[in-house]
DNA sequence: ATGTTC
């Protein structure tokens, strides 16, 4: 495979074979160690009908279902461009929410154990059913799928102000609940307000560095402050929707004369019954993911209020697994594009009209969850940007789950976290071994490469005081 | 990511 360094932090794969556009990978050589398979996936994505500009990959690129995780691909809706469930991934609308406490870390420290014990009891997590809130029936689930965080707030699980700090005001408008299958609904009903497992978490963190004081101040964070970060998605509901619609598209592709280099790229035109059906169901899952994070915030707020009388204010909520119809210039002309971001975060520039007014001039907040025991970041969108205003989403795996679990035992991990002064409340220590930080890239390097590539800028760095995981 | 192999 031929890939050349165009400039620092930017590599290019020239089109060849079925590629319609080049591959552009933002990274360093170090971050691309053993990335052959995921770069092969960047090349596959470049063959999608209607793809424009390039098949992009972020510094946290790793191997995924069909598309790489850390991939961005935009297709021209009005030129037969396709939508592909694999370009969003199984965990539709997986994303991150950051809340800031009205407490400084030093002042908070003595209460950490009580807060963590409270969270341990209050936060449902791990595989399978269980959630903080059970809809009273199929009708209420439908209202939640249509209304997202907005519906959760209407039902008393949050503050009206929260919605101002959510991407899309807490709900995407184009959810089509009729495209959510029965099985997805059944799975979704029992998991509203739950973390799930794997790299999902709820952390109590402390701001250790602020790189951009005006932006941090506007976002509502300052040095030393205690925060809560929630990383989770749409659980079994999103997974089932992806499964169902991949199957439909896999069968329908030939009718549209579409061939793709890998069946896992199953797709149909955005403007087709199958494409519209997927996007409608995906939007419903997006709203489920947002309601999920809203309800977990509500549960965390109750713990903080009872244990220490602290308040939590929403900084921002943003997804990193989503396809969106957005307008961007392509070759000097404004085009309606279906932008797939899979393990990539939207990073709108300063002044973008969709950003909340009080933070608009600083660019969109981007929330980067670290791995177990490591730092997390708040970034912001920049004026020029690239890849349709996208940046990284996290550290990115380098080891399989199985491989990771062999490198460390649960009790070793327990000792390491205790020595680092991090209060961990896992569902199982054994399960935590799959998430050992050696199994991931260095999040500091990923963020440095993203900033170096001109995709975003650093606003703040946070470290964990306590972690709740599946 | 996932009732972790329909």
The H or E element containing residue A70 is strand A69-76
Q: How far is CA A228 from the centre of its chain?
A: 16
CB A309 within 8 Å of CB A360: no
Nucleotide nearest A435, CA–C1', reads B1
pLDDT digits (tens, 9 = 90+) for A390-433: 999 999 899 999 999 999 999 999 999 999 999 999 999 999 99
Query: Could you tell me the residue ranges of all domains in chain A?
Result: 3-398+440-469
How far is A37 from A169, CA to CA, in rounded Å?
37
Distance A129 CA to B4 C1' (A): 14
CB A68 within 8 Å of CB A62: yes
Say what the pLDDT of residue A248 is. 97
Strand partners, A72: A56, A341
How far is A284 from A290, CA to CA, in rounded Å?
10
How far is A239 from A187, CA to CA, in rounded Å?
9
End-to-end CA distance of chain A: 39
CB A300 within 8 Å of CB A228: yes
A231 is in an annotated binding site: yes
Q: Which residues touch strand B (CB under 7 A)?
A: A 65, 90-91, 94, 126-128, 183, 186-187, 191, 196-200, 232-233, 235-236, 239-240, 401, 470
How, if at all, do strands A365-368 and A376-380 pair?
A: antiparallel
Does the pLDDT of residue A1 top 90, yes or no?
no
Q: Average the pLDDT over A114-123 and give the result.
A: 98
Distance A337 CA to B1 C1' (A): 26
Nucleotide nearest A129, CA–C1', reads B3
A450 is in an annotated binding site: no
A203 is in an annotated binding site: yes
Residue A470 DSSP SS3: coil
Distance A352 CA to B4 C1' (A): 40
Say what the pLDDT of residue A412 is. 95
Query: Which chain B positions have some atom within 7 A of a protein CB?
Result: 1-4
Distance A192 CA to B4 C1' (A): 20
The class level of CATH for A3-398+440-469 reads alpha beta
Which residue's alpha carbon is at the shortest distance from the C1' of B6? Answer: A243
pLDDT digits (tens, 9 = 90+) for A214-254: 999 999 999 999 999 999 999 999 999 999 999 999 999 99
What contacts A136, CB < 8 A, 6 or more positions away? none
A469 is in an annotated binding site: yes
How far is A174 from A282, CA to CA, in rounded Å?
9
Does the pLDDT of residue A2 top 90, yes or no?
no
Q: How large a percentage of chain A has pLDDT more than 70? A: 100
Nucleotide nearest A434, CA–C1', reads B4
Indicate the pLDDT class of residue A118, thresholds 50, 70 and 90. very high
What contacts A425, CB < 8 A, 6 or more positions away? A116, A117, A119, A120, A466, A467, A468, A469
Residue A402 is a catalytic residue: no
**How does the average pLDDT of chain A come out, rounded?**
97
Distance A242 CA to B4 C1' (A): 16
A202 is in an annotated binding site: yes
Q: Average the pLDDT over A379-388 and give the result.
A: 97
How far is A235 from A343, CA to CA, in rounded Å?
16
pLDDT digits (tens, 9 = 90+) for A46-101: 999 999 999 999 999 999 999 999 999 999 999 999 999 999 999 999 999 999 99
Nucleotide nearest A191, CA–C1', reads B3
How, if at all, do strands A423-426 and A390-391 pair?
A: unpaired
């Amino acid at each position: 495979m031929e890939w050349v360094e165009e400039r620092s932090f930017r590599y290019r794969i020239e089109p060849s074979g079925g590629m319609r556009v080049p591959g552009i990978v933002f990274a360093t050589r170090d971050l691309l160690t053993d990335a052959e398979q995921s770069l092969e996936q960047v090349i596959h994505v470049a063959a999608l009908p209607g793809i424009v500009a390039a098949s992009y990959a972020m510094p946290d690129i790793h191997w995924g279902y069909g598309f790489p995780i850390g991939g961005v691909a935009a297709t021209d809706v009005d030129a037969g461009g396709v939508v592909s469930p694999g370009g969003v991934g199984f965990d539709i609308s997986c994303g991150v929410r950051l809340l800031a406490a009205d407490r400084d870390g030093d002042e908070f420290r003595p209460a950490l154990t009580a807060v963590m014990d409270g969270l341990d009891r209050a936060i449902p997590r791990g595989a399978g059913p269980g959630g903080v809130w059970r809809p009273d029936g199929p009708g209420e689930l439908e209202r939640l799928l249509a209304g997202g965080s907005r519906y959760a707030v209407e039902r008393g699980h949050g503050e009206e102000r929260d919605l101002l700090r959510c991407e899309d005001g807490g709900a995407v408008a184009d959810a089509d609940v009729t495209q959510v299958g029965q099985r997805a609904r059944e799975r979704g009903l029992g998991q509203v307000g739950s973390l799930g497992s794997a790299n999902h978490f709820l952390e109590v963190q402390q701001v250790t560095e602020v790189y951009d004081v005006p932006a941090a101040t506007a976002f509502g964070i300052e040095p030393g402050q205690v925060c809560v970060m929630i990383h989770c998605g749409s659980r079994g509901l999103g997974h089932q929707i992806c499964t169902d619609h991949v199957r439909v598209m896999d069968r329908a592709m030939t009718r549209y004369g579409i061939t793709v280099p890998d069946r896992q790229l199953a797709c149909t035109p955005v403007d087709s019954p199958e494409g519209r059906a997927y996007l409608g169901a995906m939007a419903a899952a997006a709203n489920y993911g947002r309601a999920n994070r809203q309800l977990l915030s509500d549960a965390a707020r109750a713990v903080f209020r009872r244990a220490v009388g602290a308040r939590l204010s929403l900084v921002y909520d943003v997804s990193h697994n989503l396809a969106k119809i957005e307008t961007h210039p392509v070759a000097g002309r404004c085009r309606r594009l279906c932008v797939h971001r899979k393990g990539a975060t939207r990073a709108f520039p300063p002044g973008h009209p969709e950003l909340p007014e009080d933070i608009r001039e600083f660019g969109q907040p981007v929330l980067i969850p670290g791995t177990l025991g490591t730092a997390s970041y708040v970034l912001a969108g920049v004026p020029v940007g690239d890849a349709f205003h996208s940046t990284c989403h996290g550290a990115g795996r380098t080891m399989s789950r199985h491989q990771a679990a062999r490198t460390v035992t649960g009790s070793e991990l327990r000792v390491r976290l205790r020595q680092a002064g991090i209060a961990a409340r896992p569902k199982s220590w054994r399960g935590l071994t799959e998430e050992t930080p050696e199994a991931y890239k260095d999040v500091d390097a990923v963020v440095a490469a993203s900033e170096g590539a001109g995709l975003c800028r650093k606003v703040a760095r946070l470290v964990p005081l306590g972690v709740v995981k599946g």
